[in-house]
Amino acid sequence: TKQLIVKQLQEQIQELQQLSAEKDDFLSEASHDLRAPLANMKIAIQLLKVVKNEEQRERYLNLLEAECDRETALLNDLLDLQRLEADVYYLEQQLISLETWIPYILEAFETRAQERQQTLKINIEPGCPPLISDPNSLERVVTELLNNACKYTLMGGDIIFQVCADPSTCLFQIRNQGEIPEKDLPHVFERFYRASNTQVTQQSGTGLGLTLVKKLVEQLTGTIQVESQAGWTTFTVQLPLKPELMAPKELTSQ
């Protein structure tokens, strides 16, 4: 009927308007975050031109390098997010032995935790079966969640990394001492969203890390959830042990 057609057109128009508004917001946030490191790099370059001693020169060079790394990380995250949303992100599934792969991935974080006087506890269920997944994407998920845990855990706090599996599912759980305000929990996976508590807002980052994590987990046909209570924050990633995305003959071992 005519009324139904009009209603459908109105809904489509509203959807397009919402998408346009979201795109404008995204471009605004991205532009702001891209400009900030560039402005700091420009200041560092100007200061280097008038530096008077080696100590100052070293400090400004370190600032320049840090801001350059920050800009590069943001650009890489933006590109990866665009590929994921356009469904052109390449996945190469391999057979991953978790009992050997996870300690290798966590090695750098053990050193980092020690430097911050944090305790990183690793608990891998004995006899955990191998997982069929893309190792690069899975590594990105694990390292981003651990980066988050390290950043938002105070000195002396605990971080717990746990892996377990049943016949069909693998579960990764990253827990850290530190709580996300309840009102922020529904938004933690949104682009450029930063939690409101002062401890979090003092931390640097691209604002895209958890957005990428969620997109990558979905690409791996898994789910991710977050909860925060009683002084702890827990991210739980659930992945199928054998996703039906690639024929077994195409798999390689990791």
Q: What pLDDT tens digit does each residue of the chain (254 aa) get?
A: 777 777 777 777 776 666 565 555 655 666 666 777 788 888 889 888 888 888 888 988 988 888 888 788 778 777 877 777 777 777 888 999 988 898 888 888 888 888 888 999 989 888 888 889 999 999 999 999 998 888 888 888 999 999 998 888 999 999 999 888 888 888 888 877 766 554 443 445 567 788 889 999 999 999 999 999 888 999 999 999 887 644 443 444 45
Shortest CA distance to 140 belongs to which of 68, 73, 88? 73
Residue 233: CB atoms within 10 A of its CB come to 21
Tell me if 120 sits within 8 A of 230, measured CB to CB: no
Strand-pair category, 232-240 with 169-177: antiparallel
Residue 133 backbone phi and psi in degrees, to 5: -165, 180
pTM > 0.85: no
